[in-house]
């Protein structure tokens, strides 16, 4: 199979019995020297422990598909959140992966998207990961998420498709 088809679910489904599919998505990484922190000073980022109950309302507002894709429930770092009227409207954190990788999870409530909040919370999570000596990794399917990663200095280095065989 040609390399450009290895992240095409239909092409893979033609040669393997696949069930659940996640992706395809772009994978991007940022080194400390390339990191460009968010400059949105008007938003104050708050730090919460992973699994904090205030993240539940954000996941419900985003819907099961977006919440599952973001993976906030799996983070091992603190959650970096933004609130409006006491409600968490955006959050980011990461799950520690092998090889000192910090796999980022970023989620913004649908009503608050396109306001730079993913960059702001993502920036806080990246700063924290770099301080821990980890390599931040951003996985993005939608163009807005890819744009947020690039704005923070991430470089796309490949694509990923996860499949479950049946």
Whether 17 and 166 have beta carbons less than 8 Å apart is answered as yes
Give me the DSSP letters along 3-16: GGGTT-HHHHHTTS
Q: Provide the whole-model pTM.
A: 0.87
Give the pLDDT confidence score for residue 40 in this predicted structure: 67
Residue 42 has pLDDT above 90, yes or no: no
| Structure confidence by residue, pLDDT tens digits, 56-99 | 999 999 999 899 889 999 999 999 999 999 999 999 999 999 99
109 Cβ contact list (under 8 Å, min separation 6) = 58, 61, 62, 89, 90
CATH C-level class of 3-165: alpha beta
- What is the C-alpha to C-alpha distance for residues 27 and 155, in angstroms, rounded to an integer? 8
Residue 8 has pLDDT above 90, yes or no: no
Domain definitions of the chain by residue range: 3-165
- Going by pLDDT thresholds of 50, 70 and 90, the confidence category of residue 25 is confident
Give the pLDDT confidence score for residue 69 in this predicted structure: 87
């Amino acid at each position: 199979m040609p390399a450009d088809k290895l992240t095409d679910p239909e092409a893979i489904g033609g040669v393997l019995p696949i069930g659940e599919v996640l992706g395809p998505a772009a994978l991007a990484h940022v080194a400390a020297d390339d990191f460009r922190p968010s400059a949105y000073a008007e938003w104050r980022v708050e730090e919460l422990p992973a699994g904090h109950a205030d993240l539940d309302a954000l996941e419900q507002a985003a819907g099961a598909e977006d919440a599952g894709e973001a993976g906030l429930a799996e983070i091992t770092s603190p959650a970096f959140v933004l609130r409006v009227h006491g409600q968490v409207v955006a959050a980011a954190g990461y799950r520690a992966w092998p090889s000192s990788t910090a796999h980022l999870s970023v989620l913004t409530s649908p009503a608050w998207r396109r306001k730079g909040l993913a960059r702001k919370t993502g920036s806080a999570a990246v700063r924290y990961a770099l301080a821990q000596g980890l390599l931040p990794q951003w996985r993005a399917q939608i163009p807005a998420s890819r744009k947020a990663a690039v704005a923070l200095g991430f470089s796309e280095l490949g694509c990923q498709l996860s499949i479950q065989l049946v």
